[in-house]
Amino acid sequence: MEYSPELQQSIIPDAEEKKQLKKHYFKLAWIIIALVSVFTFINKAVLIISAGILGGGFDSDSITAGRVMISQTPVMKAIYSYGFPIAADIAALGIGLIVTKSDLRKKITLKGFTGMDFFKFLMLSFGIVTIGNLVNMIILAIVTAIFGDFSDIASSSTSAIISTNGNPLWLQILIYLYICLLGPVLEELIFRGVLLEGLRKYGNAFGIIMSSVLFGLMHQNFMQCIPAAVMGVIWAAMAVKSGSLIPSMIAHIINNSLSAILMIMISSSSILDFGKISSMNDISAMMNAFTDMIPLLIAVYANAFIRFICIIASVIMIIRFRSDKRVLFERSEYCRKRTWKYMFTSIPWLIVMVYLLISTITSIPI
């Protein structure tokens, strides 16, 4: 499309607006900087200092011994594993409210978004994230086939499951309360609340894509990055379409709760000791062990069936959407001139993105 000189001049930001754009993205970067700083750097610094004190010195052996002591103390484990993430979320949310001047009270009301709308978005999110997981596994299979043993994937994926075993009841409750409720609510307030609000100032498409990419990268784990990012796109679109964070919060809670239920069932079943089952000589013991696994197998197959249905529904919805030649959100040259260039030439954003990319890539189990 060609523009007249007058219109072209209005599309391109002038010197004063360029300053405002740079200032806008500079301020937004501090939301993620706060999140990363508390969640990673301050957490690790306090952990090392605490481990050194407990271990009786700051040499590597003493710090290692101190870290073992911390991991074996439920209260300290709770503080480092869940206290710091919560503190990081609160810090990022506080800064986000300051720099974006968002009114979250307006985002926790729901008008004009029906139950059917929510159901469609929910099916779409489960379908898309399942495809994302499949893509993830293909990438990991290729990487590990080239650089490492495929069993590395299995060990890394089960470590999160078995790490919750042996905890006292109160810590188990805290873990699942954070995973299923508090974590999703705080993450939605940050990524679909203040961050999306700031990033979509010059276009919904840009805000949805970038807030979702950051949501994926903030996990700093390749196994979670792609699924989280693609699901983040659906949740962000849901938040924009509904004008509320309630639908995305509910979808996030449902997703995490289903994963937590499977995690509990796996950790309490004999599937992690499958090698022991196969080596049993007592037929009765083997039958009892397999019987104990029946609820888990039912849950796994039910989950797989539901996700397969969601994939089919997602494909149908996307095909219909495209065949009607509709677009999710309008994009314009005006918005493009005020988004990508200014965000990716902002020094704070460059530092944050490089760090998150390195953390994510180096987490690949090879």
What token pair was written down for 295?
A: 């609820």
Question: Is the per-residue pLDDT at 86 higher than 80?
Answer: yes
Considering only CA atoms, which of 226, 222, 228 is closest in space to residue 255? 228
145 occurs within a structural domain: yes
73 domain-assigned: no
Rounded (10°) CA dihedral 155, 156, 159, 160: -150
Q: How far apart are CA 42 and CA 295, in angstroms?
A: 42
Task: Tell me the C-alpha distance between 360 and 366, whole Å.
Answer: 13
d(CA 69, CA 346): 42
Q: Which amino acid is at 167?
A: N
Tens digit of each residue's pLDDT (9 = 90 or more) over 137-171? 888 778 777 776 544 444 444 344 434 556 788 88
Q: CB within 8 A of 229, min separation 6: which ones?
A: 132, 212, 213, 215, 216, 217
Each residue's pLDDT tens digit, 229-244: 999 999 999 999 898 9
pTM of the model: 0.85
Dihedral (Cα; 314, 317, 318, 324), 10-degree rounding: 180
The verdict on residue 163 lying in a domain is yes
Number of domains in the chain: 1
Question: Would 241 be classed as within a structural domain?
Answer: yes
> Is residue 211 a contact partner of residue 191, using CB atoms and an 8 Å limit?
yes
Q: Does residue 72 belong to any structural domain of this protein?
A: no
Domain contains 66 = no
* pLDDT confidence of residue 27: 94
274 — pLDDT class (breaks 50, 70, 90): low
Interval 192-219: pLDDT, tens: 999 999 999 888 999 999 999 999 999 8
What does the pLDDT average to over 49-57?
Answer: 89
Tell me how long the chain is: 366
- Domain assignment present for residue 334? The answer is yes
Residue 252 belongs to domain spanning: 112-361
Dig out the tokens for 103 from the structure.
């009114």
Residue 149 included in any domain: yes
